[in-house]
Amino acid sequence: MAITSTGIGSGIDVSGIVRDLVSAEAQPARNRLDRREAEIQTNISALGSLKSVLNEFKESLSGLTDLDAFQARKATSSDSSIFSASADASAVAGSYQVKVEQLAQEQKLRSGDFTGSDAVVGTGTLTLDVGGNSFDITVDASNNTLAGIRDAINGSPDNTGVRATTVNVDDGVGGTVSRLVLTSDAPGTANEITLSTVDDDGSNADAAGLSRLSSASGEIQELRAAQDAVVQIDGQTVTRSTNSIDDAIDGVTLNLKKADDLSTYNLDVALNTGAVKSKVNSFVESYNELVNTTNRLQSYDPDSGRAGPLQGDATLRTVMNQLRREIGGSVEGAEGMFQTLATIGIQTQRDGTLAIDDTKLDDALAQDFEGVGELFASENGYASKLDNLLDGYVGFNGILSSRTDSLNNRLDDIGDQREQLGRRLESLESRLLDQFNAMDALVGQLNSTGNYLSQQLNNLPFNNLKKD
């Protein structure tokens, strides 16, 4: 940069003049770049809004593209505190009378009394059998205490389904005793626990040494018996080892929570029309939001002369025309009573939005539940066709992404042009300063020469005579 200052020779504000000249040169170019940048930013934002609302509409289709959603069943218990239920597509609609007589439960055993969890038990081999599956615990000097045996059971990689704890309880005479408690991981009589020992003291069934933990010693007591679940379904007895019963009624799972052998409760299995109707409502609401958003983006107000950011946009016009054509058309090859949205109560309004006739939709679901599914989720169904159509616009390499990338590239170009403009203005400023400084120097020289000549003329004899 050249040094800027007030002209020495001329007294002119050289830097101010240069600054004004550079600003006059720069402002139109900057204004032009600002306008172009603002226009591009507005278009990027508008395309983002369009892509967002198209994605939301596409998301609403996800629940309608799977035929399984239209085969769903709903199982309802008249008292969910006694049992709850669920059903899959294979369940047959109907009603059942259910009585929960008994819940399945895990067996729980306890040992005899020991002076503490660190009390020595005895060495040898302890075998635990859970429902016919057994594993061995070797008891030696390293783990020959109640707590050591507890930890060995819980830490065994061969453990077949039993948990061990130690408890400290009153002994009835003012002190405490420790006991080993064993609980089966799984409920049901098929998961009963049996204990046997090979005691290093030579006796495997007495109440001394490791054999104190043998079922044959008489020391082991049952705190809670293993028990199967017992349910009456329409007067027929069902016995299972678990409280989750999925093989009594085809397609239905019962989750037993509380026994009540005095009362009978209802189980109703029906088509899950509520879930399907909710998805259809979501589809209509999302489409209407799409229509309202696109109307705003391409609007024009003749009174104010203001136009939406995508007014006249070919991409927006094309995608909406394609969506309207698909929604207003029919589904070829649909296996069922319905071929158009209008036949299930979904009509296009004058403003382009959709409206649902709830009564007509309810009737359609009641008459042909799976037929409504075919209308949406079959290969040529509405949801499938619309989803495929939208992929071309909002997918990873879709039209809207490509347009946004192109606009971002234009923004980068504007940034480059700003840098070029800055360099050009710096060059202009430097050149003008050089020129004005050179002119200022010349003016200074001329002023100096003029002053010299004036002095010389004043010193001539003629001028002196005139003074006399």
Model pLDDT for residues 64-116, shown as the tens digit of each residue: 988 887 888 999 999 999 999 999 989 999 999 999 999 999 999 999 999 99
pLDDT of 139 higher than 80: yes
User: C-alpha angle with apex 444: 443 to 447, nearest 5 degrees?
Assistant: 85
Q: What is the 3-state secondary structure (H, E, C) of 207-262?
A: CCHHHHHCHHHCCCEEEECCECEEEEECCEEEEECCCEEEEEECCEEEEECCCCCC
Return the closest-CA partner of residue 320 out of 354, 355, 290, 286.
290
Q: Give every strand in the sheet of 236-240, ordered side by side.
A: 73-77, 265-271, 94-102, 229-233, 236-240
| CB distance 229 to 189 below 8 Å | no
DSSP conformation letters of 180-206: EEEEESS-SGGG-EEEEEEETTS-SSS
Instruction: Give the pLDDT score at 412.
Output: 84
| CB distance 252 to 269 below 8 Å | yes
Instruction: Give the pLDDT score at 445.
Output: 66
| CB distance 9 to 447 below 8 Å | yes
| CB distance 175 to 98 below 8 Å | no
- Output 205 or 364, whichever has higher pLDDT: 364
pLDDT of 363 higher than 80: yes
Lowest mean pLDDT among 151-165, 332-346, 415-429: 415-429
> In the structure encoding, which two tokens stand for residue 13, read together?
């504000």
Cα distance between the two ends of the chain: 56
Q: What is the pTM of this model?
A: 0.64
pLDDT of 467 higher than 60: no
Encoded amino acid at 230, one letter = V
Domain boundaries, the chain: 1-72+272-434, 73-104+229-271, 108-224
Q: Which residues contact 414 (CB under 8 A, 6 or more apart)?
A: 33, 36, 37, 40
| Mean pLDDT for the stretch of residues 426-439 | 73
Q: Which residues contact 373 (CB under 8 A, 6 or more apart)?
A: 67, 69, 70, 71, 276, 336
| Mean pLDDT for the stretch of residues 253-264 | 97
**Partners of 253 in the β-ladder:** 86
| CB distance 187 to 259 below 8 Å | no
Instruction: Give the pLDDT score at 446.
Output: 64
d(CA 163, CA 160): 10
pLDDT of 3 higher than 50: no
- Output 7 or 181, whichever has higher pLDDT: 181
- Output 429 or 266, whichever has higher pLDDT: 266
Q: What share of the chain is helix, strand, coil (3-state, %, to 5)?
A: 45, 25, 30
Q: Which residues contact 361 (CB under 8 A, 6 or more apart)?
A: 277, 280, 344, 345, 346
Return the closest-CA partner of residue 257 out of 224, 233, 231.
231
Return the closest-CA partner of residue 178 out of 189, 188, 170.
170
Q: How many residues are there in the chain? A: 468
Model pLDDT for residues 302-314, shown as the tens digit of each residue: 888 788 888 888 9
pLDDT of 1 higher than 50: no
Instruction: Give the pLDDT score at 426.
Output: 79
Give the whole-number percent of the chain exceeding pLDDT 70.
Answer: 89
- Output 271 or 448, whichever has higher pLDDT: 271
Lowest mean pLDDT among 29-38, 289-298, 443-452: 443-452
pLDDT of 349 higher than 80: yes
| Mean pLDDT for the stretch of residues 390-410 | 85
Instruction: Place 238 in a pLDDT band, splitting at 50, 70 and 90.
Output: very high
Model pLDDT for residues 312-325, shown as the tens digit of each residue: 889 889 999 999 99
Lowest mean pLDDT among 99-108, 149-158, 336-345, 355-364: 336-345
| Mean pLDDT for the stretch of residues 216-235 | 95
Q: Cα dist. 453→446, 450, 459, 462 in Å?
A: 10, 5, 10, 15
- Output 123 or 39, whichever has higher pLDDT: 123
Return the closest-CA partner of residue 47 out of 316, 266, 253.
316
Question: Can you tell me which residue has the tokens 């027929």?
Answer: 236
**Partners of 181 in the β-ladder:** 110, 165
At what angle are helices 399-458 and 382-394 packed, to 10 degrees?
20
Question: Can you tell me which residue has the tokens 């009978």?
Answer: 264
Instruction: Give the pLDDT score at 33.
Output: 78
